[in-house]
Amino acid sequence: MEKVLEVSDLHVSFSTYGGEVKAVRGVTFDLHKGETLAIVGESGCGKSVTSQSIMRLIPDPPGKIIRGSVLFKGMDLTKVNEPQMRKIRGADISMIFQDPMTALNPTLTIGDQIIEGIRQHEQMTKEQAKKVALEMMELVGIPSPTIRFKQYPHQFSGGMRQRMVIAMALVCRPEVLIADEPTTALDVTIQAQILDLFRDIQKETGVSIILITHDLGVVAQVADRIAVMYAGKIIEEGTRREIFYHPQHPYTKGLLNSVPRLDIEGVDLVPIGGSPPDLFSPPAGCPFAPRCDDAMEVCDRVYPFKTTLSKDHHVDCWLQDERAKLASITTTFNA
């Protein structure tokens, strides 16, 4: 499948009074045309920082892309200048956030905002832009778009506001849509509707989606592939099927055990004990070791290699790696 985005060895840090927080520590993934890749993990795992770095929205300082690359249409987005990046944002890569209110201007009508968004990127008359805007409102399922067009954000429900934000994000037909916890602020019924909408617009437009979430329920509904993040790294990656039915990393298994499953009834939910490591001084070995029931001696010392389990399924865990035995007896071993 055609790759639209290639993130390689991305490292992002924040300098604080307490020292340098290594929020993203070598993240690598591809996004293919027309797919939804979910990036999943607990709060603070680096998933939002990863997506903001792709968009170059990390405030620098205190944030900094230390190394790595983000390839998009032959450009490395970590290197392009700000005016160029402004052209890319919204037109080629769009982003939506958890709270639709932050993306909308309360003092402008919905129509004026969406037209403004279009005309930032496209040479169009107001009338042409209005036509595009109304079509997009229709596509995202806003009833009576011509009436809604003249209304203000406060006249919309939470779900309708999020639909509007999605319309604005898609209006310039971006190739990539990054959605950071897009349904977290919505109630469950509306959540399901918005997730259905993602699927519909993907079918309609072929947009590739990166979905950032802590909620595996959301992932189960829409993701083609899933990347699980922990302590600034992707620790397991696979198709939805592989992650849900054949998870290999103890952390992924823990995450799955800690969420309600529609397909398995009557199973007690077990939260993962302990908390993620401090990212001021991340451990040399596996960052999950202190919380892992299967940890071996080598785990504390050496970060595991990536083990390939299938074309799409990769895991960073010594349990999957024959070399763990060798590593245990070789003290100078370095991953």
The binder of 53, among ligand SF4, Mg ion, none, by C-beta within 5 to 8 A per type, is: none
Residue whose C-beta lies closest to Mg ion: 48
> Could you give the maximum distance between any two Cα atoms of the chain, in Å?
72
Does 213 interact with Mg ion (rule: CB under 5 A)?
no
Measured from the CB atom, the residue of 46 and 254 that comes closer to ligand SF4 is 254
Considering only the stretches 8-16, 35-43, 72-80, 317-325, report the one whose residues sit in contact with ligand SF4 under the rule CB under 6 A. 317-325
The binder of 292, among ligand SF4, Mg ion, none, by C-beta within 5 to 8 A per type, is: ligand SF4
- What is the contact mask toward Mg ion in residues 35 to 54, using x (rule: CB under 5 A)? -------------x------
3-state secondary structure of 298: helix
Does 319 interact with ligand SF4 (rule: CB under 6 A)?
yes
Q: Are 171 and 114 in contact, with CB atoms under 8 Å apart?
A: yes
- What is the contact mask toward ligand SF4 in residues 278 to 297, using x (rule: CB under 6 A)? --------x-xx--x-xxx-
Q: β-strand 63-72 against 176-180: which pairing, if any?
A: unpaired
Count the residues of the shown chain that bind ligand SF4, applying the rule CB under 6 A.
Answer: 14
Rounded (5°) CA angle 11-234-320: 130
Does 317 interact with ligand SF4 (rule: CB under 6 A)?
yes
Shortest distance, position 180 Cβ to Mg ion, whole Å: 6
Does 210 interact with ligand SF4 (rule: CB under 6 A)?
no
Shortest distance, position 185 Cβ to Mg ion, whole Å: 12
Cis peptide bond prior to 283, omega within 30° of 0: no
In terms of Cα–Cα distance, which of 169, 218, 173, 212 is closest to 193?
A: 218
Per-residue CA distances from 163 to 90, 101, 147, 173 (Å): 16, 12, 15, 15
Shortest distance, position 63 Cβ to Mg ion, whole Å: 14
Per-residue CA distances from 307 to 201, 227, 231, 249, 261 (Å): 34, 14, 18, 11, 27
- What is the contact mask toward ligand SF4 in residues 242 to 261, using x (rule: CB under 6 A)? -------xx-----------
Query: CA torsion angle for 78, 100, 220, 198 (degrees, to 10)?
Result: -80
Distance CA 228, CA 47 (A): 9
Strand partners, 240: none
Does 318 interact with ligand SF4 (rule: CB under 6 A)?
yes
Does 231 interact with ligand SF4 (rule: CB under 6 A)?
no
Detail the DSSP E strand segments found in 77-230: 93-96, 176-180, 208-213, 225-230
Of residues 31-60, those binding ligand SF4 (CB under 6 A): none
Measured from the CB atom, the residue of 167 and 299 that comes closer to ligand SF4 is 299
Distance CA 153, CA 324 (A): 56
With residue 37 as reference, give the H or E element that holds it: strand 36-40
Per-residue CA distances from 304 to 23, 227, 238, 284, 297 (Å): 19, 17, 17, 10, 12
- What is the contact mask toward ligand SF4 in residues 156 to 195, using x (rule: CB under 6 A)? ----------------------------------------
The binder of 295, among ligand SF4, Mg ion, none, by C-beta within 5 to 8 A per type, is: ligand SF4
Considering only the stretches 24-32, 170-178, 184-192, 312-320, report the one whose residues sit in contact with ligand SF4 under the rule CB under 6 A. 312-320
Interface residues with Mg ion (CB under 5 A) are: 48
Interface residues with ligand SF4 (CB under 6 A) are: 249-250, 286, 288-289, 292, 294-296, 299, 304, 317-319
